[in-house]
Structure 1
Amino acid sequence: MLPYYLGCPSWSAPSWRGVVYPQAAPAGEFLAHYASVFNAVEGNTTFYAQPSADTVARWATAMPAGFRFCAKLPRTVSHSADLREQLAASDDFRRLLSPLGARVAPFWLQLPASFTPQRLAELRAFIDHWGDGNLAVEVRHPAFFVRAEEERALNRLLLERGIERICLDSRGLFSCTSQATAVLDAQSKKPRLPPRPTAFSQAPQLRFVGHPELAANDPFMAPWLDKVAAWIEEGRMPYVFLHTSDNQLAPQLARRFHQQLSERLPGLPALAQPVSEPEVEQLGLL
């Protein structure tokens, strides 16, 4: 059992065979193998489309009890004109994922850059309707990152209600000068905002979007490694998710983060290695 949650943006990349899954693993087994290595995952798929009840039932079978699925609320909710008009839809989404029980923790409300400080009343009403602290919020409007009254008002709202503000750090990605298509595409989509290392609850949330060259991330990860180690020592249970531009190397970056965290917290359990297929004995001719 790790004293923190560690994962990637998804569990279903075929290129992770040999890194997270056995080489011959069928796609239907990816989640079970992923959950044997990492104990959390970002629920990005639910942002774009809601799963069927049958799909949720399959996830419930594959996810261990201690696993955490940070399900993003659908963009039809988070990117609506008024959050107060989406309260029933958010209730429906929670009911859909209810078979996962405590494994959905926390739900993520990822707000667009168009969500301005003038809309905080909507967020307040949404949080009050939500009714518990099993929610984390990501904001992207620049006004929430200038240490002025707009940001302080957001932080007060979240802190008073025990709602975590998701920490997004994309400095590693934007430090990359490669003209590779995957890098340029990621840089065009990810927000370029200063990191905000907040801990408004017992479960701080970090999303780290890294450079495609793993070692180039070390200077950007170092302060987070110190922060995560301190959170753990304070008795908190942080969540850490590692991305790369196309996420092909996300598992390797997650392992690198964990290895360097182990240097700060001696005795931290090692991550499991993917299960390998048994070797087939080659019989010679007699």
Structure 2
Amino acid sequence: MTAQVHIGVGGWTYAPWRGAFYPEGLPQARELAFQGEHLTATEINATFYRRQSPASFAKWRDAVPEGFRFAMKGSRYCTNRRDLAEAGESVANFMAQGLVELGDKLGPINWQLAVSKKFDADEIAAFLALLPATHEGLAIRHAIEPRHESFDDPAFFDLCRKAGVGVVLADSPTYPAIAAPDTASFVYLRLQNAREAVATGYPEAELDHWASRIARWSAENREVFAFFIAADKIRNPAAAKALIERVGA
């Protein structure tokens, strides 16, 4: 048995993609639908900065086909704080904004930690305990993206494994690649090394490398979410399309 693979980019509103990824003259209101025709997932970044409305989530849900998935960034009001154990009210507010409108198109929530946040076992255990497994009857999956090398620690991986929380694997020139793909039933990749000089963002050998790893995870029955994020952002849709072709997602 192989699990599903979802590949996309971060967001869908980016002016330089018009004429490069989106056809010239495509109405901005149609950009998400176009993305849904060519990619299989997107990571919503706007939820990191501000609260969204149930109507927005419903509109996004209806714009894309069955099988498409929306991952999303958890709110900065939850993660950019001195003590993550005190984020309970903010997590509850985030969950209550209407994201259940996405229904089965909802992918994992990525709780991206501040660059300066260091691993503290008690603090992280308390934060993971705040993340609900369900909300209004909808199953919720969580991933955590540490960006400090101190998280490369078996104790951190054990906490995530016990909570069923994924650890985001970042291919980044800036942040450490903290690899622990076995802590949850899914794998969450953020591929942040696209180069504008390469038509497909990533060279063929690197795309083949990631395609091989994704195929292995999928064969192990781990659902995979892979997003091309940041770096030379104009190339991210081409990179996602090239990776989709390789893994048949």
> Fold-level match, TM-score > 0.5?
yes
Give the Cα–Cα distance (whole angstroms) in 1 for the partners of residues 171 and 180 of structure 2.
Answer: 9
Residue 49 of structure 2 aligns with an amino acid whose one-letter code is Y
Aligned twin of 2:151: 144
Any idea what SS the aligned residue of 1:80 has?
A: coil
Q: Deviations over 1:81-107 (max 9, x none)?
A: 222222122122112112112322211
**For 1:94-113, what aligned pairs fall within 5 Å after superposition?**
94-96=95-97, 97-113=99-115
Residue 33 of structure 1 aligns with an amino acid whose one-letter code is F
- Between Structure 1 and Structure 2, the one with more strand by share is 2
- Deviation for aligned residue 1:19: 5.0
**For 1:115-154, what aligned pairs fall within 5 Å after superposition?**
115-118=117-120, 120-132=121-133, 134-145=141-152, 151-154=153-156
Structure 1: give runs of 5+ residues left out of the alignment: 146-150, 175-190, 263-267, 270-286
Aligned twin of 1:59: 60
TM-score by length of 2: 0.85
Structure 2: give runs of 5+ residues left out of the alignment: 134-139
Any idea what SS the aligned residue of 1:140 has?
A: coil
- Deviation for aligned residue 1:28: 1.2
Give the Cα–Cα distance (whole angstroms) in 2 for the partners of residues 107 and 3 of structure 1.
Answer: 17
Q: List, as ranges, runs of 4+ consecutive aligned residues in structure 1 with deviation greater than 4 Å.
A: none
Q: 2:203 aligns with which of 217, 237, 248?
A: 217
- Deviation for aligned residue 1:195: 5.0
Conserved? CA contact 1:20–1:37, under 8 Å? no
- Deviation for aligned residue 1:223: 3.2
- Deviation for aligned residue 1:10: 1.3
Aligned twin of 2:137: none
- Deviation for aligned residue 1:138: 0.5
Give the Cα–Cα distance (whole angstroms) in 1 for the partners of residues 182 and 23 of structure 2.
Answer: 37
Conserved? CA contact 1:243–1:253, under 8 Å? no
Any idea what SS the aligned residue of 2:161 has?
A: helix
Aligned twin of 1:255: 241
**For 1:9-48, what aligned pairs fall within 5 Å after superposition?**
9-18=10-19, 20-48=21-49
Aligned twin of 2:72: 71
Give the Cα–Cα distance (whole angstroms) in 1 for the partners of residues 215 and 62 of structure 2.
Answer: 32
Residue 226 of structure 1 aligns with an amino acid whose one-letter code is S
**For 1:165-204, what aligned pairs fall within 5 Å after superposition?**
165-170=167-172, 174=173, 191-196=174-179, 198-204=181-187
Any idea what SS the aligned residue of 1:84 has?
A: helix
- Root mean square deviation of aligned Cα: 2.3
Conserved? CA contact 1:14–1:27, under 8 Å? no
Any idea what SS the aligned residue of 1:249 has?
A: helix
Identity of aligned residues (%): 26
Residue 138 of structure 1 aligns with an amino acid whose one-letter code is E
Conserved? CA contact 1:43–1:71, under 8 Å? yes
- Deviation for aligned residue 1:71: 1.3
TM-score by length of 1: 0.75
Q: Deviations over 1:180-211 (max 9, x none)?
A: xxxxxxxxxxx332352523222101111124
Any idea what SS the aligned residue of 2:82 has?
A: coil
- Between Structure 1 and Structure 2, the one with more helix by share is 1
Any idea what SS the aligned residue of 2:52 has?
A: coil
- Deviation for aligned residue 1:243: 3.1
Q: Deviations over 1:33-81 (max 9, x none)?
A: 1112112111111112222344333223323342211111111111112
Aligned twin of 1:8: 9
Conserved? CA contact 2:144–2:168, under 8 Å? yes
- Deviation for aligned residue 1:256: 2.1
Structure 2 CA distance for partners of 1:233 and 1:28, relative to 1, 3 Å: same
- Deviation for aligned residue 1:221: 3.8
